[in-house]
Structure 1
Amino acid sequence: MIRLLLIFIFLAPFSAFSCDADPPPVALEFLKAKHVFFGQATSKVYAKDSLTYTVSFTVEQHFKEGGSLPETLAFTLPAEGEITGSYSSCDFGVLLGRKWLIYAYTYNGILTFSYYGSNSKPTESLDAIPKQELEILNSGHEIDYRNIIFDESLLKSPTAVTYVGPSPKIQLHSLLTHIDNTKYRQTSRLTFENFIAGIDSSGNIMELFIPDRRAKHVFQAVYDVQATVWTPLKELSSLQFDLLQALKASGQWKPARFMGKSVNSQVFFQVYIDEQGKVTTSAFY
């Protein structure tokens, strides 16, 4: 319970995917999408069993270059609760004649889109799209994932953009077995330290440090993808120094992956030493 509380205090809230999940960064959803377009729903036909409907959009503008740019795109979606009699918090419907901005992607070989956990939305005109989002869409061909530091703590739904964080190739706690808590004159029953690790796309450790809890952190954005910038703690206790040196011996990590591609990232984790001297590490965030 204590460990969970410490993690909660130190880290920002994390959101697993749910129907009320915040949308991912526009730049990342743009890269994931097969088509990003603005168009109008011009046809809506329900299946015979009324469990699904197929909606066709007439495309007014494509934002994603390359490949085919069809004038119409069709999607088969679950029918609304008022049609099926079965309601869920994930229900959404497309009204005939309504205009939408859609980020369409392929799932299990089928082209689809979602309203929840996505930037897809009904909108009357391009002028109604938020300015920053429209700027990213208009320059989408310039988005380079290699310029982004992926910070999982700020990705509202990592799975929504097919992101998997980095991981050490060896168990970190195995590097800390020699740490003897008793020699550091620790007075608390539980000793813990926060760590930030920056891992490049090759799995190399770019930085590994203990953040200064007294210093205010800031956010750095590339496109609309944010990463937290922490201030390293300058004055280390002997315990902090020994922990840091031991962890730096972890060598190469498995790099984070976005859409199957290796990317630069940073992760947060904690090291605990209990009153018996047992050393454990938290999950990575």
Structure 2
Amino acid sequence: MKKRILTILTILISALTFACDCDDINPILEFYSSEYVFEGKIISKVYANDSLTYKVTFDISKHYKKGDYPKTLAFDVTAEEEYTGQWTSCDWSAKKNQTWLVYAYKYKGKLTFSGMCSNSKVIDYRPISLREQKILDNGNSFKIENYIFEYENGFNYCINVTDINSILEKGKIKEYKNQTILLNVSIDSNGNLKSVTRQRELIRKKDSIFNLTTKIGDANRNPITEFEKDAIELISQVKKWEVKKHEKTGINVPYIRHIWINYDLKTNKWGYEL
């Protein structure tokens, strides 16, 4: 019995260890970046001569994204491990007669989709959630420039333009009780500093449909310490940051960066980490 339990635990741990590592993608951002978003049934699945790929063709019953509305779309997909001889934890497959919700996008100039690390999925036995359905129904009204972004994929990575070290060198020298703090830096769509907020006091107001941040504020619930006050004063002088753009459309968006500020009592120097 103990041996059986140990075997089961080993299998579970192995499954967790090798599970496909995917970041959650907000459906509206995938919708926004997709060429087509549709519901459709796979009416054919044909393997290539070498069996390393196969072509699936969808009979489309409903388009969600504005544009042209083809009745069918076909995609070339990497074949299953039994044909390729290569297995990864991110393997997936599509089968004839399955009904899918598909977010189709272009990769290297070719239209494709994925059943892994995407919101594309089989909907025969597990229907679209009410939350995602609401996003799909309202997706064409989405304006990306109206939201504030943080960690989401699909944007360039931004850093400061104003030199932070030169500002920190002018910081006050004191015997601070606290010597480290995580701050939120709010940047507008032109790369200009808007505000600096303590992480634990940050308030996000989110859109009820797309679950993206529309406004931020400072709760001001805890007394601000002398160290925190001086740290905020210093970072508030970092006025210029790189502009954040949506990679596909090139549209500028406002965003939040998180920055650790510390003070070394031994060297009496300020430091930071983005």
Read off the aligned partner of 1:21 and give its amino acid letter: C
- 1:270 counterpart residue number: 260
**Greater Rg, structure 1 or structure 2?**
2
Deviation at 1:199, TM superposition (A): 0.9
- 1:247 counterpart residue number: 235
Asked if the contact 1:23–1:116 (Cα under 8 Å) also holds between the matched residues in 2, the reply is: no
- 1:100 counterpart residue number: 100
Read off the aligned partner of 2:121 and give its amino acid letter: K
2:171 corresponds to which of 174, 179, 182: 179
- 1:200 counterpart residue number: 188
For residues 118-197 of structure 1, the aligned pairs below 5 Å read 118-124=118-124, 128-152=127-151, 155=152, 158=153, 162-180=154-172, 183-186=173-176, 191-197=179-185
Deviation at 1:100, TM superposition (A): 0.4
Asked if the contact 2:176–2:227 (Cα under 8 Å) also holds between the matched residues in 1, the reply is: no
Structure number with the bigger relative contact order (C-alpha 8 A, sep ≥ 6) is 1
Unaligned runs of 5+ in 1: 1-17
Q: RMSD value over aligned CA atoms?
A: 2.3
Change (3 A) 1:103 1:167: same
Asked if the contact 1:209–1:244 (Cα under 8 Å) also holds between the matched residues in 2, the reply is: yes
Give the secondary structure class of the aligned counterpart of 2:100.
strand
In 1: Cα distance, 2:206 partner to 2:117 partner: 20
Asked if the contact 2:34–2:104 (Cα under 8 Å) also holds between the matched residues in 1, the reply is: yes
In 2: Cα distance, 1:220 partner to 1:165 partner: 23
- 1:12 counterpart residue number: none
Deviation at 1:148, TM superposition (A): 1.3
Change (3 A) 1:230 1:19: farther
- 1:58 counterpart residue number: 59
In 2: Cα distance, 1:28 partner to 1:80 partner: 28
In 2: Cα distance, 1:141 partner to 1:234 partner: 41
Give the secondary structure class of the aligned counterpart of 2:254.
strand
Identical-pair percentage: 30
- 1:257 counterpart residue number: 245
Asked if the contact 1:115–1:121 (Cα under 8 Å) also holds between the matched residues in 2, the reply is: yes
Read off the aligned partner of 1:178 and give its amino acid letter: K
Asked if the contact 2:38–2:102 (Cα under 8 Å) also holds between the matched residues in 1, the reply is: yes
- 1:3 counterpart residue number: none
How many pairs were matched up? 250
- Normalised to the residue count of structure 1, the TM-score between the two structures is 0.80
In 1: Cα distance, 2:260 partner to 2:155 partner: 22
- Normalised to the residue count of structure 2, the TM-score between the two structures is 0.83
In 1: Cα distance, 2:194 partner to 2:217 partner: 14
Give the secondary structure class of the aligned counterpart of 1:163.
coil
Deviation at 1:134, TM superposition (A): 0.9
- 2:38 counterpart residue number: 37
